[in-house]
Each structure stands twice: as C-alpha cells, then as structure tokens.
Chain A
C-alpha cells in the first residue's frame, strides 16, 4: 500500500513548488544571517534539517496524547531540546563554525519552518510520512541557503568553502571583491532576485495584484 511515489512527492515538493523560504515566507531569519559563507550555510542547513526531521518524528509519535492547551509549548520544548543537543554536538566537533553561527543555531528553535511542519503536518500524520515531510522541507530550506551562501561568498570574497576560486586583485589577480555581499542588505537583494526568478519560471507562484487598474489607460499621478 505504501508506494514509493507518494513519499517522492512529499520529499521533492518543498524544493521549488512549495519552497518554505521563497513561497511560504518561513525560516527567513537564519537564511540571511548565516549565509555569508558556504560553510556556515551548510552547517545551518544540516542542523535545521536534522532538527526538523527528528522533531517531526517525535511529535508525530506522541501526537495522540498532547493536550490542546499545552500543544504549542510541548512542541517548542521538544524542538528546543533537539536544538541544544545539536548545538552541544557542534561545539564539540566543529568549534570554529559553531562560534561563527553563535546564537543563530539556538534560533532554529523559533524557526518558522520547524514549527510550521510540526503544527500542520506532524501533529496529524504517522511518524514516517512526517519525517519524510520534515526532511523535504529541510532540503527546500537548505537549497535556498546554499545558493545564497555560495553567491555571497563567491562575490564577497572570491572564495568557496574557504578556497580561493577567483584570484583577488590585491594578490595579483583580477577580482575585486564586492564587500557589500558580506553585509545585510545584499542578502535581501539576492533573495528578492531569487524569488523573482522562481516566480517568473513558475508564474503560478506569483501573487495576484491587489488593485486592478481601471480599463482606461491613464498616466499615473
């Protein structure tokens, strides 16, 4: 009865068609703060994917016994516990990257992606589909983060994963890094551009205009 096709759809849908960042406006905070280098973006992506998959699994296991009055706080406590464990693990084995990520790993607790999936899907579905769904959303989120991180590190420093890819001008090459890429505004611009690109390729994701102009063509005042 469990065919491979339904899980495949659950897994791949969040990549473009239902991407949490570009369509559902979820998980933005960390998407911008930690994408200055590919290494931090990758660590954040992996951490979030692990947290969302495990949290969905655990919450789905006990979903029948969670009283409605304490529903949200129970979910948050479970997610917070997962996050702390992952953070301790990062501090032990990836200390440098953990320092670069600082509080943003702990902010995975309030990451809208995790809460949205546990609240809407894992609370009403059996464990295995919930975990696949969570993993899929983690992948969708990771895709955006990796692209952002790659673009920002490449044009901001000429590096990818710390390795010099574009030779810097002050070391004899031709590339002058765009320092703006390392600052906050560039993340917003790049995301806006990505949203524009995705919605141009898939027009069904574009939002409807709030105001239809009158039938007569008049110059704007």
Chain B
C-alpha cells in the first residue's frame, strides 16, 4: 500500500506533468485564466489519464511488447514501434466514449465540460502518460496509480495557476508581460517550488 502511495506522490508532485516534465503546457496556459475552466480541465484530464494509462498498458502487454506473441508461436515479434498509433487510437476512443456517455446520462456535466473533452485527444499529457508508462515498465496497478496521480498533479497545478492569474487581472504589468509573459514567469516560479519535491523522492 505504501508503494502505491509513494508512486501516487511521485506522479502527482515529483514528476508533475506540466511543471516538471513540461507536458500539456498549451492547454495549461491557455485555460488557466479562469478558475472554472481550470477545474473543468483538471477533472477531465484526471479522468482520461486514469482510464487511458492502464488500458494502454494492457494493450501494450498483450499485443505490442517484444515477446507478446509468444503464445502464438512468434516470440521474436516486436511491435513496440506501433505503440504510438495504438495509444492515440485508444485515447481517441476513450475520449469519444466519455463524451457520448456524459452526453447521454449526465448532460449537465457534459455542458460544463464544453469544448475540453474533444481537445483532450491531442493532449501531450495523455499520450505522455502512456509513453512514460512504457518507458518505466510499470505493471497494471502501477499504471493505474501513475495515471490517476498524474491527473491529480495536473489538476493541482492548473488550479493554482488560475487562482494567481485571476488576481493578476488587477495588477499593473508592463504591456509586454501581460497574459502569456507573466504566465510563463509564474509557471517557472511554481516549477521551482515543485522542484523541492525531488528531495521527497530521494529520501525514500
């Protein structure tokens, strides 16, 4: 149990997707102006990551990994180079399914998510989660914890940034720094703060 908790903390804070691994920055910066859109993005991200990473793990192990076809007598078949296309297909399908389910059974939530859901298909974070899962050779349980943890980390980061940017609407910034410029500087400062979490991992 403590391994799962450690992995969760690792995924959420030490290897925070936007602040440490630089993933998902486009939507991170574009949708962090208002807290409502930040929360919506964070929740959608957490859900899709939590579902897609373990699912992609299963598909990778069953079909694509070297030696996956040993049961059929072809152990030398290594289809891992197709992982990219496979993962994208799975992610697109999950997002589409989620949208259909929400639209049918939870129309209010669907309306609240608005345009984020289809946007998530092309998110570096979602694909990055699956790719890191492959690179770090997680098993199924670890994939689930990692996916969920990454989503939570993204949620925390984007809500924090939006809270600051909402306040900055009243600040007297130089014209060149307004909007994107100051968002970068803020994200850099937050990233510096999150870098202190690496000590947490090292202490284990």
Contacts and interface: CB of A to CB of B under 8 A. Distances in A.
B84 A200 contact: no
Interface residues of A, number: 53
A72 B121 CA distance: 9
Query: What bracket does the count of chain B residues touching chain A fall in?
Result: 35 or more
Interface in B143-198: 169-170, 172-185, 187-189, 191-192, 195
Contacts of A200: 174-176
A188 B187 contact: yes
A111 interface: yes
Interface in B110-136: 118, 121-124, 126-128, 131-132, 135
B157 to A, nearest CB: 12
Contacts of A30: 22, 124
A26 interface: yes
Given A109-B127, A189-B188, A76 B92 contact: yes
Contacts of B82: 84
A32 interface: yes
B185 A189 contact: yes
Given A84-B84, A188-B185, A28 B178 contact: no
The 6 closest A-B pairs by CB, nearest first: A188-B188, A192-B184, A207-B179, A199-B176, A28-B25, A192-B185
Given A199-B181, A209-B173, 6 more contacts: A26-B26, A73-B88, A185-B189, A198-B176, A207-B179, A211-B169
Interface of B: 19-26, 29-30, 81-82, 84-85, 88-89, 92, 118, 121-124, 126-128, 131-132, 135, 169-170, 172-185, 187-189, 191-192, 195
